[in-house]
Every structure is written in C-alpha cells, then in structure tokens.
Amino acid sequence: MIQFLLILLIVRHGFGTRNDEEKKLNLLVRGWAPLVWLAPGERFMPLGVPEFLEHVQAGDNYLRTRLNIETLLMNESSFLYGKQPDGNVPVYALVKNCINLPISTSSSSATINSFIIDRKRIKQHRAFIPRDENNDINASIQNNEVATTKVKANHGEMTLISDENTFRKLHFHVTYWMFYPFSEGKAVCVLDLGFLGTWPIPSVGGICLGKLKGYGNHVGDWEHMSLYFKGDDYPVAMYVSAHDAGAYYRYDIRSGTFVYESQETRKGIFQKPIFPERVFTSSGSHPVLFSAKGSHGLWTAPGKHKFVRLPRLYDESGFGIPWLTWRRLELLNSDNEQFTPAWMTFRGKWGNPRSNCHPLVRLGFNICEFVDGPTGIPMKNGRFQC
Ligand SMILES: *[C@@H]1O[C@H](CO)[C@@H](O)[C@H](O)[C@H]1NC(C)=O
Ligand SMILES: *[C@@H]1O[C@H](CO)[C@@H](O)[C@H](O)[C@H]1NC(C)=O
C-alpha cells in the first residue's frame, strides 16, 4: 500500500490536485471498507491471492490444486483452510473513477491553467468526515487540502470546467473483493441407486432417509460488495452480493445506516432471499456484513438465510470472527493497469474443474460434489455504472 502511494506520488508530482484527490480517495475507500463477520464454526478462512497461487497450477483455463482436493481437505493445515484474516489477509479494493481527470484529456484541447485552493469548501466538507477510531484517518482528512482545477478548453470544446469556487468532487465506485481458497457446498439428502448414481431425495419430516452428501464444493471463491461515491465524503449506495443474488442499499446520513432499496437475481434458479431493511455501520462508517458459514455468501444480517442456489437450503451467518478489512487493503485501480497485479488479467477459473458428478450430468443434471472454480474479478461486471 505504501509502495503504491509512493509510486503515485512520483508519477504524479506536479499535479497537485490529482495527488490530493488520490489521497482523499484512499481515505474514503479505507474509511468505508466493510467489517465482515465470519460465521461461528467457520472452517474455511480467506487467503491472499499470491499465497493461493503458490499451490495451484494454470492450464486449460483452470487453476488446479497441485495436490488432489481430497488429500488437501484431510489436512487441516493445508492452504485450502485459509488463514485467520484480521491483518493477515488482504482485501482487494478495485476503484473505478467516474470523472476523467484533466491529465487524461491532454490529447484534446483542454489545458490546465491554474490550481486554486478553495479553503472555504474544505471547511464545509469537514462536516462529512467518517468517524473512525483511527486517528490518522481523521487527521489526514483534516489536513488534506482540496484544490479545484480550472480548465479552459480551446476552440470552444469544453471537456472539464469547474469554476474557481467549485469543489472538484470525487465520483467513483469501489468493489471490495475477498478471496477464499475453498467454498463448502451444502449437504443434500441422497439415495444411492447403484449404477444410476446417487439421487437427491426430499427429507421426510426433517429426517433424511438416505444419506447426507456434500454438493457444490469448489476450490477458489470470490466474494464482493461495492460502494458508490458521488461527491460527498460518504457513499450514496451499497451493493451486497450473496451467491447469484444481491441487494442495493442507499446510505442514510441521518441515521448512519444503509437502507434497503431493491434486489436482483443475477442468474440461476429464481429465488427471493430476504434482505434486512437496514445495515448498520461500525465506528460510524464501516458497513457490518456477515459471511455465510462454508459458502461465504455475504449477508447483511446474522441468522439463517434462504440459500440462493438450491431450494430449501439455508445459509447461516453470525458473530464468529471479525474481519476488519481496512487493516489490510490493496487498492487496484481499474484505469491504471500498471498498478494492477498480473493475476488480475487471468480470465479463466480460479479452481479445479468439476468432479465427482452425477452420472447423468451430461443430460444437464448438474449435481457434482465439486463444481468448477469461479471466474475472477475481470470477468464479473460491477453492479454500479458511472
Ligand atoms: C499438511 O499441510 C502442511 C502445510 O501444507 C504440511 O506441512 C504437512 O506436511 C501436511 N501434513 C500431511 C500429513 O500431509
Ligand atoms: C477528529 O477531528 C475532529 C475535528 O478536529 C475532532 O473534534 C475529533 O475529536 C477527532 N476525532 C478523533 C478520533 O481524533
């Protein structure tokens, strides 16, 4: 993180406004990073990507574990079980800027005429400082001088104009990505029919007359939530993703909570999970979220949640281990590929191909003990558009 900032400082010296904006953006991304509660009894912890990559090899568009999955699962100190997250495991914050900064329009007719510090506006914006127990954040926002850029375009082509008294607002969205080396599927009640394979059967009165078998496990698991900032020192909206569904919340500054707006099912079996009305914040800014036991789907409240992928199954979340994601954030700038790690460009699947499938899998009966690993960050569309 510090190296990243240093590089930015070197590359951008001479562009005072840009520097200040980067600094401020950093503080906002950190100040509003989520507090994620892992579920009580969670066995599969998150892990940093570089560490995961040491244990897999790429080929045919998949990252496969060097040892077979069953062997790794039998060993509780294998990398599949991840690490205690707090301060150890990075969270990747992918930032997308919505305003083209003046420097990037240099090929056009825009020229930067002057930088004007607008002190009046800085004072006004002090009211919106995220309350955080981290004094550094407070101090740096206070000291952060915000400059306005006056840009004049020739030939009447105005690309970016802000008058001397206008505070140049930061407008961006950020997605916080969390990586887990293994995702545990769900136990399904099955009956073994010999060469016809095992078939899922409904349990009768809550009792499984066959045997319980885990389905839908996979190596590699990306989970995310996004925030949208539009000019203020607090976000306007939040998107939280659980499996193939997700919910939009808007930020209510008076109560300091996120208020439910709408939800969507991105794909798969249509189900309507119930999202709570409000999401609370920790220290006045960090949204408090809950990672489901085993599957790590992100929920906005503790308790039992209808599992999205398979009917009649639930996700469970609660107050297990807190993960203060801002303790170790790595910023990825989607507009600046030179600052993104090489693994960001991998477009294949972050885990082994499916295995131990039902014999009728070729007829579209997609039930496997291990399913394909998920795709990574570049293959997933952000939920906010600029
Ligand atoms: C379990 O995993 C650890 C860490 O990879 C390794 O050092 C150890 O030898 C493994 N134990 C067994 C029994 O395979
Ligand atoms: C943050 O700054 C404000 C204004 O200077 C001050 O009142 C407040 O006590 C500071 N909070 C912390 C935690 O330092």
* For ligand 1, mutation pick of 77, 80, 83 (most atoms within 8 Å of CB): 77
Q: State the Cα–Cα distance between residues 63 and 352, nearest whole angstrom.
A: 6
Nearest bound ligand to the CA of residue 76:
1
- The CA 123 to ligand 2 mean position distance, Å, reads 14
pLDDT value, residue 211: 79
DSSP code string of 96-120: EESS--GGGGTTTTEEEEEEEE-HH
**What does the alpha-carbon distance between residue 60 and residue 354 come to, in Å, rounded to a whole number?**
13
135 lines ligand 2 (CB under 6 A): yes
Establish whether residue 138 lines the binding site of ligand 2, counting it when its CB lies within 6 angstroms of any ligand atom: yes
Residue 338 CA to ligand 2 centre (angstroms):
36
Tens of pLDDT, residues 215-271:
889 999 999 999 999 999 999 999 998 877 889 999 999 999 999 999 888 776 556
The residue to which tokens 């930032």 are assigned: 95
Radius of gyration of the chain (CA): 23
DSSP letter for each residue of 52-80: HHTTEEEETTEEEESS-HHHHHH-TTSGG
- Dihedral (C-alpha) 118, 123, 127, 132: value to the nearest 10 degrees? 90
- Three-point CA angle 233, 237, 242, nearest 5°: 130
Q: Verify whether ligand 2 is closer than 6 Å to residue 283 (CB atom).
A: no
Which residue lies with its CA nearest to atom 14 of ligand 1? Answer: 75
Q: Is the CB of 262 under 6 A from ligand 1?
A: no
- What is the amino acid identity at position 61? N
Which tokens in the block code for residue 293? Answer: 């036991």
Q: Nearest Cα to 42, choosing from 182, 219, 176, 231?
A: 182
Instruction: Quickly count: other Cβ atoms within 10 Å of residue 4's Cβ.
Output: 15
User: What is the rounded distance in angstroms from the CA atom of residue 299 to the CA atom of residue 377?
Assistant: 20
In a 13 Å sphere around the CA of 198, the CA atoms on its Cβ side amount to 19
Give 10-19's long-range contacts (Cβ < 8 A, gap of 24+).
15/103, 16/115, 16/147, 17/102, 17/115, 17/147, 17/148, 17/149, 17/168, 18/101, 18/103
Q: What are 64's strand-pairing partners? A: 57
Q: Atom 12 in ligand 2: which residue has the minimum CA distance?
A: 135
Closest Cα to atom 4 of ligand 1: 78
Q: pLDDT by residue (tens digit) across 73-112?
A: 999 999 999 999 988 999 999 999 998 654 433 333 332 2
Q: What is the mean pLDDT of residues 171-185?
A: 95
Q: At what angle do helices 135-143 and 16-31 cross, to 10 degrees?
A: 150
| Residue 51 parent element (H or E) | helix 49-53
What kind and span of H or E run contains 321?
A: strand 321-324
Kindly list the domain boundaries of the chain, sorted by start residue: 31-98+170-379
d(CA 328, CA 112): 36
What are the tens digits of pLDDT across the range 52-76?
999 999 999 999 999 999 999 999 9
> pLDDT per residue over 301-325, tens digit each?
998 887 545 555 678 999 999 999 9
The ligand 2 atom nearest the CA atom of 138: 1
pTM, full prediction:
0.74
Pocket test for ligand 2, best of 128, 129, 138, 140 (most atoms within 8 A of CB): 138
Closest CA to ligand 1's atom 5: 78
Residue 254 or 136, more confident = 254
Which residue is it, tokens 């916080």? 176
Confidence category of residue 340, pLDDT binned at 50, 70, 90 = confident
**If you take atom 13 of ligand 1, which residue's CA is the nearest one?**
75
Protein residue with least CA distance to atom 10, ligand 2: 138
Task: Point out the ligand 2 atom lying closest to the alpha carbon of residue 132.
Answer: 13
Distance 81 CA to ligand 1 centre (A): 12
Q: Is 140 in the pocket of ligand 2 (CB under 6 A)?
A: no
207 Cβ contact partners less than 8 Å away, ≥ 6 residues apart: none
pLDDT score, position 65: 97
Q: Is the CB of 142 under 6 A from ligand 2?
A: yes
